[in-house]
Structure 1
Amino acid sequence: MNVENYGYERKTVQSGILHIGVGNFHRAHQAFYNNQLLADKDQCKWGICGVCLLPSDEKVVNNLRAQNLDYTLTVCGRNGEDQIYQIGAIQELFWAVENPQAVLDKIAESAIKIITLTITEGGYNLDKITNKFILEDEKIQQDLKNPGHPTTVFGFIAQGLRQRRDLGNGSITILSCDNLQHNGNTAKNAFTTFIAAQDKDLAEWVEANVTFPNSMVDRITPATTPEDVQRLNKRSGIADLAPVYCEDFTQWVIEDNFIAGRPAWERVGVAFTNDVTAFENMKLSLLNASHLLLSYPSFLKGYRKVDDAMQDEDIVKYVRDFMNIDITPHVPAPEGQDLAEYKRTLIERFANRSVSDQISRLCFDGISKFPVYVMPNLVKMIQDSQNPVRVAFMIAAYRYYLKYQIDDQGLPYQIAEPWLSPEDKSLIASNEPTDFLGLSAFKSTNLKAAAHFVELYTQFVSDIKSKGVETVLKAIVR
């Protein structure tokens, strides 16, 4: 298959963006947009300097370095036709574990005008009830007391900005690309709280010299397994140690609030707006919430790939009813967006055989996802006396998924929940079903006080355990 090479000389490109969290989504989304834009010669100052902070990032760092930071991106078409791109937008790559000072120096560099982030929903260290930054966290306390030797993203950015200020290297924008409502406001809350607790003078400088635009990002990007690497490389004919693949749909909507300038991303399809709220609400409430809705029942039924689950008529109806009946009343369509078409496209995207996303990826870190994707609309549903049958079933399935770790087929599995608190683990272990409703993920409202919800949920808990997910789901959709 033909590979589309990038249309620029890498030696002419300068890093103007520092990105923290060089995972698959960043490389399929933001780096892809920049790769297309760098073909315009007047945009050559907007290359990306990648930064990895974690010990677990060693493999991706070594693999990308071994091939001059180039990699292939396979965009999987819903029509079965794929397009492969050679991506060269990442110009530099630092691993903080081996050289933390290089990361700090790069943040301080005058050519860097934007810091972008993909640090996951749980990475902003916010209390799930109050939405306040958790200053008491042990790693946060360590960074607050040792500004010159940071270990967290907050410590690195604070110290890097301190160096930047002291050098007189000017203003900068911090742009979150994580799936959070008002992600720019969230990032501002987290970083300014940390900085104010560490250095009041720096906090004043940040207030005047750093902006935090909100943004909405969208592109389904699975994890890449060793089998995927072989498959993708066979198609591209390139021995790529770090290939990425994704769906053909992509969207990026950004609040146009860049204090130190920005790339002309609008040339490659990025939409700029004064308010991203309607786009955020649509995407988080329909795509992300639907992903979560289908993940636990599908996994417990024995499915491991999203496209396989979407061949199951019961699961498709369950998702479609959730979008149409439960969520649409609470999602005003953004200007120029056809909501019915958006929902129809979502079903197509989930069922894309070429993407074949992992359900385990959707199940990952539910404790951080429920407060963002599900709870805001569940609260509205309860207030409006809507029937919460599908959400009650989802939460009962989530409990079973966490508690028993064995599916309907009798196959064991491991869960991945990095942000569970000791109290959460105790509530999961409890044999009293309503204790689970006190989980930190659900504390934005008192679910135990919603009598109809509790009645449905407790019945589903009992039925899933005695009859299995498949039987219970069939009764709900039919």
Structure 2
Amino acid sequence: MKTQLRSFSYSREQVKAGIVHIGVGNFHRAHEEYYTNRLLEDPAQQRWGICGVALLPGDERLVKALRKQDLIYSLTVCGRDGKDQAYEIGSLVDLLWGVEEPEAVVGKIADKSIKIITLTITEGGYNLDKTSGEFMLDNEGVKHDLSHPSTPATVFGFVAEGLRRRKNLGNGPITILSCDNLQHNGNTARRAFTSFIAAQDKELLEWVSRNVTFPNSMVDRITPATTPADIERLNRANGTGDEAPVYCEDFIQWVIEDNFIAGRPAWESVGAEFTDDVTAYENMKLSLLNASHQMLSYPAFLSGYRKVDDAMHDERFARYLRTFMDKDITPYVPAPGNTDLDVYKRTLIERFGNRSVSDQLARLCFDGVSKIPVYMMPNLIKMIRDHADLTRVAFFTAAYRHYLKYKVDDKGVAFEINDPWLTEADYRLIASDDALDFLSLSPFASTDLRASEDFVEIYQSMVRRIQEEGTLPVLESILS
């Protein structure tokens, strides 16, 4: 099926870079670049073009592909109705590769025309210890940059050296805006960068405390990795020879705390939302989107499904998730801003079922140890406190145990688990034949689930029934 390519109409010669973005991956190119591409149609906003920065050796292929096509690429937005729309994106007006031209990266961060540094470096890119939350100064790259500030290798070293030159040149304040998909990402960025700078240059730290802001933001758009087969498919549909195309879902959201010390683009004119506090939006996303993904993961995988959209086209799983959202989560999630929660929940069900941006259930199952404490436990604790209906969350917990303990789905297909943060103590609890031992697993550490008679009774019943009947029959009984 052919997809019409919608071109931008602004002149790129008139656009100046006001933003440095570090981490020019698919999500950034489907999200911040998409918003900015639309914004640049306004002549009054054309000082907000983006200079991309890639810092990793593995970025070479993408850098060369984008440079070959003058940094212009295609973005295909896949509609839930099966209709796609392709856009030509021109907001990336410069691209620097730190491996090849480190001095240019430092100089661009120091440049007076740059008012914002945005980041998509992944959660692990902030180099914070998972247990303590402290910045890890013993990281090899970090140790190098602390000792060799003028020849940086890490994002922390590059930003610190750029800020140091900015300070020395008198080029004014700047905002560092994380666009990574993690809770209170601005606070995380502040902790990481100021911890590095404190260890390297106390005078710079003082300047940063007065001249750099770190707003929190909430981002949302499903953007799959692009395979060679995808490149061929997208180009065939768009009629292009793009070597770096991106595709994504049609839903997009960006909520940003309005704390920009050196000015900002008018992203609100193209659909972003500015707020004083992003917390309520984060809570909504964590409690509804992320928790629903988690609720789906193990039961659907055990039922024999491997793709999210396939599971969601099974009406039983769609109803299970909508009931979870309505009865278990909505009482604890106030609607932020002018959000219509019913529309948001209905849209989530549609998004999960979008066949054009199919996701793997194995990815949702991955690393439950890190996800469950953030996505599931805060509301589960409130539900236990309020003596709410615990049926669905007890079913989820029993399915999680079955997934980790038996490693075989209901169709007899064996699989390997991928939960890298399980401890030796966790593995002993999983191996135990006493299902109550599993409730002491590290993801549940924030509360004593064994102390809730209501939860324990339902959970033990679910454990036994999943083993005897299989996951789907138990799910059907819950729905009836």
| Partner of residue 424, structure 1 | 423
Q: Does 1:378 align with 2:377?
A: no
CA distance in 1, matches of 2:439, 2:200: 36
Matches within 5 A, 1:60-459: 60-128=62-130, 130-135=132-137, 137=139, 139-398=141-400, 401=403, 406-411=408-413, 420-421=420-421, 424=423, 427-428=426-427, 430-432=430-432, 441-447=443-449, 450=452, 452-453=454-455, 456-457=458-459
Any unmatched runs of 5+ in structure 2?
none
Q: Judge conservation of contact 1:105–1:160 (CA < 8 Å) in 2.
A: yes
Structure 1 window deviating more from structure 2 (295-304 vs 123-132): it is 123-132
- Structure 1 residues 233-284: Cα deviation after superposition (integer angstroms, max 9, x where no partner): 2211112222222222212121111001111112211111222222221122
CA distance in 2, matches of 1:19, 1:309: 36
CA distance in 1, matches of 2:72, 2:268: 24
CA distance in 2, matches of 1:58, 1:395: 43
Structure 1 window deviating more from structure 2 (88-97 vs 21-30): it is 88-97
CA distance in 2, matches of 1:276, 1:172: 20
Q: What letter corresponds to residue 423 of structure 2 in structure 1?
A: D
CA distance in 2, matches of 1:404, 1:67: 50
Q: What letter corresponds to residue 257 of structure 1 in structure 2?
A: N
Q: Does 1:24 align with 2:26?
A: yes
Q: What letter corresponds to residue 190 of structure 2 in structure 1?
A: K
Distance change in 2, residues 1:368/1:83 (3 Å): same
Any unmatched runs of 5+ in structure 1?
none
Distance change in 2, residues 1:466/1:151 (3 Å): farther
Q: Aligned with 1:354: secondary structure?
A: helix
Distance change in 2, residues 1:235/1:411 (3 Å): farther
Q: Aligned with 1:357: secondary structure?
A: coil
Query: CA shift at 1:288, angstroms?
Result: 1.9
Distance change in 2, residues 1:243/1:395 (3 Å): farther
CA distance in 2, matches of 1:22, 1:311: 33
Distance change in 2, residues 1:454/1:269 (3 Å): same
CA distance in 1, matches of 2:134, 2:450: 24
Q: Judge conservation of contact 1:223–1:358 (CA < 8 Å) in 2.
A: no
- Structure 1 residues 60-107: Cα deviation after superposition (integer angstroms, max 9, x where no partner): 333323322222111122222221101121122233344444333322
CA distance in 2, matches of 1:148, 1:449: 56
CA distance in 2, matches of 1:462, 1:54: 49
TM-score, structure 1 normalization: 0.88
Structure 1 window deviating more from structure 2 (8-17 vs 382-391): it is 382-391
Distance change in 2, residues 1:457/1:24 (3 Å): farther
CA distance in 1, matches of 2:362, 2:350: 20
- Structure 1 residues 305-359: Cα deviation after superposition (integer angstroms, max 9, x where no partner): 3221111122112211211111111100113222122211211222223333333
CA distance in 2, matches of 1:385, 1:165: 56
Q: What letter corresponds to residue 309 of structure 1 in structure 2?
A: A
Structure 1 window deviating more from structure 2 (54-63 vs 456-465): it is 456-465
Q: Aligned with 2:93: secondary structure?
A: strand
Q: How many residues align?
A: 475
CA distance in 1, matches of 2:382, 2:151: 45
Q: Aligned with 2:254: secondary structure?
A: strand
Q: Judge conservation of contact 1:176–1:187 (CA < 8 Å) in 2.
A: yes
CA distance in 1, matches of 2:62, 2:441: 34
CA distance in 2, matches of 1:463, 1:159: 60
Q: Aligned with 1:241: secondary structure?
A: coil
Distance change in 2, residues 1:192/1:6 (3 Å): same
Let me know the Cα RMSD of the aligned residues.
Answer: 2.9
Q: Judge conservation of contact 2:14–2:46 (CA < 8 Å) in 1.
A: yes
Q: What letter corresponds to residue 173 of structure 1 in structure 2?
A: T
Instruction: Give the counterpart of 2:14 among 6, 12, 15.
Output: 12
Query: CA shift at 1:232, angstroms?
Result: 1.7
Distance change in 2, residues 1:412/1:46 (3 Å): farther
- Structure 1 residues 369-408: Cα deviation after superposition (integer angstroms, max 9, x where no partner): 3343223223322333334443344344445555665544
Q: Judge conservation of contact 2:405–2:431 (CA < 8 Å) in 1.
A: no
CA distance in 2, matches of 1:441, 1:139: 30
Larger Rg: 2
CA distance in 2, matches of 1:96, 1:456: 55
Q: Judge conservation of contact 1:424–1:439 (CA < 8 Å) in 2.
A: no
Q: Aligned with 1:337: secondary structure?
A: coil
